[in-house]
A and B are shown apart, each in its own frame.
Chain A
Amino acid sequence: MVASVALVVLVLSASGWLVMLGAIAVLWVPAVWALYRSLSDEDRKLELLDEQGEIDTYSPRALAELREWVESNPEDPLAEEGKERYNDCVEILQRVDETFYDRSDKEIDSLEKL
């Protein structure tokens, strides 16, 4: 039994094992993680929507980027829409008790509409 297991192990070289296990690690692990994360985030969003009727739409980093983009591109045809989306998110953050993205109260208080 031990010999047959050893034979099975030896058929595949060390580099073969490395590639096989590496491929499983970089494909199956992220796939399962993405599925789990996506479904659990969905549950969280639905829970917050049920409780509050609305949720914050941008993460802190994404919201800061949106503000920067709107301020840097005031002539862009979509600048107005960007501004609306930014302001909507800020208003929601100021209204809701619980946020979807991690934020401190201090951060929320410091946000200003465009």
Chain B
Amino acid sequence: MADTDARTVREEWGTRFGFLMAMLGAMVGSGNIWRMPYTTGQNGGGAFLVAYILLLFLIAIPGLMAETVLGSYTNRGVIGSFREVFGRGRAEGLGLVVVLVTVALMSYYAPIIGWTIYYAAHALLGTFFEAGFGPEAFWSSFSGSPLLTVGMHTIAVAAIAVVLAFGIKRGLERVVKWTIPILVLTMIVVAARGLTLPGAMDGLAFAFTPDWNYLVRGQTWIAALGQALFSTGLGWGIALTFGSYLRENDDVPLGGGIFTAVGNTAIGLLAIFVVFPVVFAFGLEPTAGSQLTFVSLVSVFPQMAGGPIWAILFFVGFLFAAFSTGIGVTEVAVTTVAEETRLDRTETVLAVSGVIWLLGIPSAYSAEFLGIMDFMFGNWGLPLATLLIIGTIGWKVGPERIRVLALNRNSDIHIGAWWDSLIKYVIPGVMVFIMAYYFVTNVGASTFRTVGGLVLMGALLAGAVLLMGSVRRGGSEPTETDTALGDD
């Protein structure tokens, strides 16, 4: 392996705290705030939490360890890591697929970050407290104005680009070291306020009272699986990319695995304390998703004593959650493109941000298009990316090899042989199952989107593999160094 050479030129995290906050920031997103609470309430409350926590420990934590250690071991971004495993050639296309999926994800997530910027700005301006303010009309006028939605999308992409242009240590790390602790503090403060509202405990009763019958329903476990996989960002290339910037003596299992997954879920739990007391105290609809955040909650802040403060804390915290995810996801493509091309960091950031901005315009313009993108890439693209990364570690690298050589090196905790079968069989099996389940449950109701999504992912996979094969045809043959990691 050529890791020694790579380390001398490659940027590294400045502090352990910076790495931990970056991992947490990338994984904690808007879904933790608007999805986790109602998914919990809809699926048997406490029973869902039990299922979710079990799956978190069984799948998300070991999976994140695997993804982080691959990056840490190869010291490469996504395509470079696949090259270290498979050698130069078509198989690098598998890494390209992961990068393309993250770019697609960012193309429709950036407009959402734009929404949070808009609402945080108006919370600071006190707009929600002006006489005659109507939250629904405000949301409609915003979401119905392409100038505003595309404009906020542009601001979101530009802000992310500015942060990333400064690099890992001076850009990304410097931002998340402040935003994530502030996010947690604001959530604690808002939760404390919510819990003192009359009727707040009904919200907690809805969220936590277990209906154990839900534990024998397949839907509960599917929802728990979806939440455990998607809210932790397992297999999206983020943990791999961030792992590649770890220092030589850094641990992987405790920070990259346990802290990231458990910390992310702990914030999701905190979101339940933030959202449900307010929802029940003011008789709102708990399953309203993004509408809950941008319409319902906006309507209750003026009714609360000290409302402007709570609105600022909530929306600034929400902005930090969404923004930190945005910079994490974009960094996956930035790291890889910088490594695979002759562009320098600034040029790469401009190129990647430009592509994301351009691809994101339809999602910023039309909420329906955003929904289609979310359906296709959320249901098929992200599980495919997870399957490619974890499947590669499980079946090509070999979990025992990477665990013995790299995962337990400089580790703060010891990971035993139990981990090997989880990576080789359980996680890939679960990913195949969840994709098959989504197909079966969606193909009847939305045939076009479901089949279209699968065809799109198939085309993406085939196109990326053929493209890399074609690009590498004139290149060198695989060397021993290139493929040593993949000869398990």
Contact = CB atoms under 8 A, between A and B. Distances in A.
Interface of A: 8, 11-13, 15-20, 23-24, 26-28, 30-31, 34-35, 37-39, 41-42, 45, 49, 55, 57-59, 61-62, 65-66, 69, 73, 76-78, 81-82, 85
B263 A34 contact: yes
Nearest to B3: A81
Contacts of A42: 15-16, 250
Contacts of A61: 408, 414
Contacts of A30: 258, 262
Contact of A57 (B249, B266, B401): B249
Contact of B208 (A20, A66, A78): A20
B20 A76 contact: no
Given A23-B49, A66-B405, A11 B205 contact: yes
A19 B408 contact: no
Given A34-B254, A77-B484, A78-B484, A16 B404 contact: no
A46 B293 CA distance: 44
The majority secondary structure among interface residues of chain A is helix
A61 B415 CA distance: 10
Contact of A16 (B20, B204, B250, B405): B204
A66 B210 contact: no
A17 to B, nearest CB: 8
B157 to A, nearest CB: 31
The 8 A-B residue pairs with the shortest CB-CB distance, nearest first, are: A19-B46, A62-B408, A42-B16, A34-B259, A11-B201, A16-B209, A77-B484, A27-B266
B32 to A, nearest CB: 12
Contacts of A13: 205, 209
B201 A8 contact: yes
B368 interface: no
Nearest to B209: A16
Most chain A CB inside 10 Å of its own CB: which residue of B53, B209, B400, B484: B209
Interface string B1-29: 10000000000000111001000000000
B240 to A, nearest CB: 19
B266 A11 contact: no
A27 B485 contact: no
Interface centre among A24, A27, A45, A85 (most CB of B within 10 A): A27
B249 A31 contact: no
Taking residues whose C-beta sits less than 8 angstroms from the other chain, chain B's interface range is 35 or more
Nearest to A15: B210
Given A38-B251, A66-B404, A77-B484, A16 B259 contact: no
Looking at A18, A41, A45, A76, the one whose CB has the most chain B CB atoms below 10 A away is: A41
Contact of B20 (A24, A35, A85): A35
B487 A76 contact: yes
A26 to B, nearest CB: 6
B263 A35 contact: yes
B290 interface: no
B265 interface: yes
Interface of B: 1, 15-17, 20, 45-46, 49-50, 53, 201-202, 204-205, 208-210, 249-251, 254-255, 258-259, 262-263, 265-266, 269, 400-401, 404-405, 408-412, 414, 480, 483-485, 487-488
Contacts of B404: 62, 65-66, 69, 82
Given A31-B266, A34-B262, A76-B487, A15 B412 contact: no
A24 B210 contact: no
B194 to A, nearest CB: 13
A80 to B, nearest CB: 9
A78 B50 contact: no
B466 to A, nearest CB: 28
Nearest to B488: A76
A35 B201 CA distance: 30
Contact of B401 (A45, A58, A76): A76
Of the listed residues B50, B250, B269, the one surrounded by the most CB atoms of chain A closer than 10 A to its CB is B269
A82 B488 CA distance: 14
B262 A27 contact: yes
Contacts of A27: 53, 262, 265-266, 269
Nearest to A11: B201
A19 B251 CA distance: 32
Given A37-B412, A57-B249, A85-B409, A23 B208 contact: yes
B262 to A, nearest CB: 5
A20 B400 contact: no
A47 to B, nearest CB: 12
A77 B402 CA distance: 12
A28 B267 CA distance: 9
Given A11-B201, A30-B258, A35-B20, A82 B405 contact: yes
A49 B409 CA distance: 16
A12 B249 contact: no
B408 A59 contact: yes
B53 A34 contact: no
A85 B50 CA distance: 41
B408 A81 contact: no
A18 B15 CA distance: 37
9 contacts: A18-B46, A19-B208, A27-B269, A39-B17, A42-B250, A57-B409, A59-B414, A69-B404, A77-B487
Contacts of A17: 208
A35 B484 CA distance: 34
A31 B259 contact: yes
A38 B401 CA distance: 24
Nearest to B408: A62
